[in-house]
Structure 1
């Protein structure tokens, strides 16, 4: 006997939803002959799990955690409350379903040591044999509008640091790095224009600048309580060398590929953050100077003059999720927002820009049937994230940050 089940979503070919939206669709059972079941159950579930092991003193210790966000059960036929048998006749049977997503859902994510996963599942319940499961994954995205959720992300960001090399009488004058970003919030599809000013007052040359956009994922376990951080470089770029006793300014773009939005609040066992890293290599001494700047990756971009971005339905213009029970750790930076929403966010043009939805290339593909013994259909699933085709912000340039190199006058004898 052959039974198949196709699960589809209404007017949503990508199967991508925002937290708070209604997930509706159709489950279609096809039987080549009649089949007896106790019940046909449709479940819509959302949860996060973490799992990894660590070795210590020759033994391995397992760490695991789980958090549930959604569990909706609808009997399409029969019930588990009684032992009555029901017959599914040969042919095609279609069942419509609908489920409201909670507003506090974190974004879908598939990682090395855990996942945040949302699934529609149809179960043919047969206590006398074994249950058959048919599953389909879908993507849920946290609404992170950079214009409203974190208004300070529109401001330029600046950081600087100093580093000397060697010690005692051989100690060099400082190598200074300045890092400038035109804003601290971006969306996939944009490029981050990173302006780096290197004031090399030392007696050693900087052989190369390395820039990276880094995704940081912290996984928590519940039994026993523990955590670990996964560091993923999702974008790289290089800059030129800087001679000793010279100053050089460079603006280098870091692409933002398809990637999950920043989330350090809605899940208590998986937190995601991003940072820009700039590393100045001094190969002669096998040393380097590292500068770090936290950035936030959203799902709705900052307003750009001349472009209107069509947005999915939302509950309100300003939505704040509940605070996590855990404070965000130092390894997971995020630029926080204060103050009121600016009044000049409405562009003047009627041009509209819809995002494409793409799979992240730097995260894992998950097995959505790993909890089922008798599952049918495709096991692999990868969430899809919005990717925009909109202008990137203008680099930060000032009188002291031009794309040029010059000798430090103070070092000319």
Structure 2
């Protein structure tokens, strides 16, 4: 019968979602059926970004024969890598006896303040993990691993000029066989603001002035995400990826002078501009397409938008702060000052600085306030899983026997519960 009945890492905060600079607390749970001889129980906390993809190309050898070659592109950067000893140590190679029974080994550590937001994609990720190891002499170690979410603050109010609304026009003339005039469609597109947070609805107003014999069949609004992954090995190159995050459509045909209002709710997605990450870039675009009947081309307009974690002040109102639902994300509270960060291992090295910023990466003191979206009496958001998830959190150098490493993981992003300003469909 195995002596190890339970071995896992637990965070004190449900959902395990944190902001840079926060103090993270939890426990390593160990349940032994009998006493075990070990060198140490240690906990490693790591934050890193990785990108990787493959590209197939055809080559010719000296005899003119064709071969298929696969290039593996990749890059990585590390934000911190810390090791804490919770029981025993490996410095003097001595063994200690871990008693039988159920045990909780508490831990706490402070996150650096200038680290990027958690992010998952098939071609790259920004990931934060905690791995506990029972170091056993002359035997395979026991290992378990868990991922947690870091949500960096992206305040839309600091980018107010990029959030200004849109009042745009588009005109399209139609003809048959390049000579017969079939009239034109004039459209006016209005978007009150271009800065949003998850949970907020993107409202688009399309006014039609259709003097043609062509019908407008539907109007589609799409939230699109554009990604760039920057590899450094075997040489510098960039891979782009575009995808639709969410779409809404209004079906026609419409009256010649119709006003069509579409509301697209922003899903749980990471904020624009993955700050402090130099190998992954992210942007969002709103695409509005006016489809017409027949073989005629649609009318398409695209506009850059910002997704943040702190909403614009202009949308915060007293009724909102009073009627919003209770958040599902708990707020850490302490009766006294929180405990100081745990001492690091003897082989601890300072975190790398992957992003050229105004201040070096570092750790906050235990009593320094953490970054918070709860400003101006904004009710705290709930945290919901992103649609994009990792197949697993297993690293390439890890075995298949790391408990939890093969579990899928989806980051959790803040979602605000805004009241619906209009009845559905109005």
On whether the aligned pair clears a TM of 0.5, the verdict is: yes
> CA separation of 1:128/1:243 partners in 2, compared to 1, >3 Å: closer, same or farther?
same
- Measure how far apart 1:277 and its partner are: 0.7
What is the CA RMSD across the aligned residues, in angstroms? 3.3
Question: What is the alpha-carbon distance in structure 2 between the residues aligned to residue 282 and residue 208 of structure 1?
Answer: 7
- Aligned residue for 2:344? none
**1:208 is paired with a residue of what secondary structure?**
strand
Q: Is the 8 A contact 2:287 2:300 kept in 1?
A: yes
Question: What is the alpha-carbon distance in structure 2 between the residues aligned to residue 172 and residue 38 of structure 1?
Answer: 84
Q: Pick from 186, 196, 205: which aligns with 2:206?
A: 196
Question: What is the alpha-carbon distance in structure 1 between the residues aligned to residue 214 and residue 298 of structure 2?
Answer: 11
- Aligned residue for 1:231? 242
- Aligned residue for 2:411? 383
- Measure how far apart 1:184 and its partner are: 1.4
Q: Is residue 372 of structure 2 the alignment partner of residue 360 of structure 1?
A: no
Q: Pick from 271, 292, 300: which aligns with 1:290?
A: 300
> CA separation of 1:182/1:392 partners in 2, compared to 1, >3 Å: closer, same or farther?
farther
> CA separation of 1:108/1:370 partners in 2, compared to 1, >3 Å: closer, same or farther?
same
Unaligned 5+ residue runs, structure 1? 314-321, 327-345, 395-402, 404-413
Question: What is the alpha-carbon distance in structure 2 between the residues aligned to residue 73 and residue 128 of structure 1?
Answer: 21
- Measure how far apart 1:17 and its partner are: 0.4
Q: Pick from 233, 257, 260: which aligns with 2:267?
A: 257
> CA separation of 1:324/1:83 partners in 2, compared to 1, >3 Å: closer, same or farther?
closer
Q: Is the 8 A contact 2:40 2:88 kept in 1?
A: yes
Q: Is residue 226 of structure 2 the alignment partner of residue 220 of structure 1?
A: no
Question: What is the alpha-carbon distance in structure 2 between the residues aligned to residue 44 and residue 280 of structure 1?
Answer: 50
Unaligned 5+ residue runs, structure 2? 59-67, 333-352, 358-374
Q: Is residue 168 of structure 2 the alignment partner of residue 151 of structure 1?
A: no
1:190-241 per-residue CA deviation (whole Å, 9 max, x = no partner) reads 2111112344466644332211112223222221322222222222111344
- Measure how far apart 1:84 and its partner are: 2.4
- Measure how far apart 1:259 and its partner are: 1.6
> CA separation of 1:45/1:170 partners in 2, compared to 1, >3 Å: closer, same or farther?
farther
Note the 1:329-340 alignment, pairs <5 A. Answer: none
> CA separation of 1:275/1:324 partners in 2, compared to 1, >3 Å: closer, same or farther?
farther
Tell me the TM-score normalized by structure 1. Answer: 0.77
Question: What is the alpha-carbon distance in structure 2 between the residues aligned to residue 161 and residue 225 of structure 1?
Answer: 40
